[in-house]
Amino acid sequence: QTGLKTKHIGQNIEYVESCSSTQIIAHKLAQEGAPGGTVVLTETQTAGRGRMARKWDSAAGKGVWMSVILRPDVVPQKAPQFTLVTAVAVVRAIEEVTKLQPKIKWPNDILLNGKKCTGILTELQSDADGIQALIIGIGLNINQEKTDFDPEIQAIATSLKMESGDTVSRQKLVQSLLYYLEIYTQMYIEEGFGLLKVMWESYSTTIGHPIRARMTNQTLEGIAEGITEDGVLQLRTADGKLHGIYSADIEMTN
Ligand code: BTN
């Protein structure tokens, strides 16, 4: 009995006690033809991965480590927004299950009191015919204590329990998250990014603030003015120029 309130996402769940990374399993399942909506869940990962080839700390039984396979009929240019749509779903789920007020740091970090509690990693399987599958990886820190995290990230990472003081049900969170993920991905596919962009901006810590964006080739400082319909961050530098940021590490400056 999963208690799921969804029609599509999570109807097919692949649960493994332990694995290297749910992303790797999901990629393989997708290649083998697994249906859209398939969810891979695990208790612990030995090689959990994050954006920019970073590792993702996945303490056993303390969080939700999952990958969702979607097969949306959209052009590849519409893929990056799925990360932003997923971020909105994560925030809504945390709000529903706890009393916490999560914020989104562009593009994909969910923060509680300035520390990261969730990361999202969207990967693509595509060919000449377009997107074959989107693999959305979500790592949600739920019941960790500070010392459950690797020492080098203890200063920047947090969990729902550390911020609320309460143990949080992982099952309730997964149910709620898959529910919002289904609603919002459907909304995005049918109606576009408009309303979700407004929701995303309302939860964002970045928009309206001075930031530093570190990219591979350069670093820019300025005010984050908003995101475009394509999910691109708009950064206004002191010389008045508006820059579109596609991929970067963001720091708040003040
Ligand atoms: C990031 O913030 O850099 C993204 C982190 C994504 C972590 C999740 S945990 C489940 C899935 N499997 C992985 O190996 N990574 C994602």
Looking at the structure, do residues 194 and 220 belong to the same domain, yes or no?
no
Same domain for 151 and 229: no
Do residue 110 and residue 44 come from a single domain?
yes
pTM (two decimals): 0.94
Residues 187 and 170 in one domain: yes
**Domain membership flag for residue 5:** no
Domain that includes residue 241, residue range: 210-252
One-character DSSP codes across the chain: ------SSTTSSEEEEEEES-HHHHHHHHHHTTPPTT-EEEEEEESS-B-GGG-B----TTTEEEEEEEE-----GGGSTHHHHHHHHHHHHHHHHHSS---EEETTTEEEETTEEEEEEEEEEEEETTEEEEEEEEEEEE-S--GGGS-GGGTTTB--HHHHHSS---HHHHHHHHHHHHHHHHHHHHHH-SHHHHHHHHHHBSSTTSEEEEE-SS-EEEEEEEEE-TT-PEEEE-TTS-EEEESS-EEEE--
Query: Are 191 and 233 found together in one domain?
Result: no
The best mutation among 24, 65, 134, 174 to test binding of ligand 1, ranked by most ligand atoms within 8 Å of the C-beta, falls on: 65
Q: Are residues 82 and 154 in the same domain?
A: yes
In-domain check, residue 1? no
> 178 near 10, Cβ under 8 Å?
yes
Say whether both 125 and 226 belong to one domain. Answer: no
- The CATH number for 240's domain is 2.30.30.100
Distance (Å) from CA 38 to ligand 1 centroid: 17
Does residue 151 share a domain with residue 31? yes
Quote the ligand 1 centre to 240 CA distance (angstroms). Answer: 36
Closest ligand 1 atom number to CA of residue 66: 10
Same structural domain for residues 111 and 216?
A: no
8 belongs to a structural domain: no
pLDDT tens profile 134-182 = 999 999 999 999 999 999 999 999 999 999 999 999 999 999 999 999 9
Distance CA 157, CA 111 (A): 9
Residues 29 and 54 in one domain: yes
CA distance linking residue 226 with residue 58, whole number of Å? 32
Task: Give pLDDT tens digits for 32-81.
Answer: 999 999 999 999 999 999 988 899 999 999 999 999 999 999 988 888 89
Residue 212 labelled as part of a binding site: no
Q: Give the Cα separation of 224 and 204 in Å (integer).
A: 11
Residue 175 Cβ < 6 Å to ligand 1: no
Residue 189 placed within a domain? yes
Residue 200 Cβ inside 6 Å of ligand 1? The answer reads no
116 known member of a binding site: yes
Residue 96 to residue 108: CA distance in whole angstroms: 20
Q: Which residues contact 128 (CB under 8 A, 6 or more apart)?
A: none
Q: How far is the CA of 127 from the centre of ligand 1 (A)?
A: 24
Going from the Cα of 52 to the center of ligand 1, the distance in angstroms, rounded, reads 11
Does 51 appear as a known binding residue? yes
Q: Is the minimum distance from the CB of 136 to ligand 1 under 6 angstroms?
A: no
Query: Which of ligand 1's atoms lies nearest the C-alpha of 63?
Result: 9
Kindly state the percentage of the chain with pLDDT values over 70. 100
Amino acid at 211: I
Considering its fold, how many domains does the chain have in total?
Answer: 2
**Could you tell me if residue 3 is inside a domain?**
no
Q: How far apart are CA 242 and CA 233, in angstroms?
A: 10
Tell how far the Cα of 117 is from the centroid of ligand 1, in angstroms.
12
Domain-terminating residue out of 165, 180, 203:
203
50 is in an annotated binding site: yes
Domain CATH number, residue 123: 3.30.930.10
How large is the ipTM?
0.99
Same domain, 18 and 46: yes
Which residues sit opposite 68 in a β-bridge? 39, 136
pLDDT in tens, 83-123: 999 999 999 999 999 999 999 999 889 999 999 999 999 99
**How far is 199 from 92, CA to CA, in rounded Å?**
10
**Same domain flag for 148 and 217:** no
What would the mean pLDDT of 244-248 be, rounded to a whole number?
Answer: 92
| Distance, CA of 149 to CA of 143 (rounded, Å) | 11
Structural domain includes residue 7:
no
pLDDT for the residue numbered 128? 87
pLDDT computed for residue 1 by the predictor: 56
**Closest ligand 1 atom, residue 23 Cα:** 12
Compute the distance between CA of residue 253 and CA of residue 241 in angstroms, rounded to an integer: 18
What is residue 204's predicted lDDT score, i.e. its pLDDT?
95
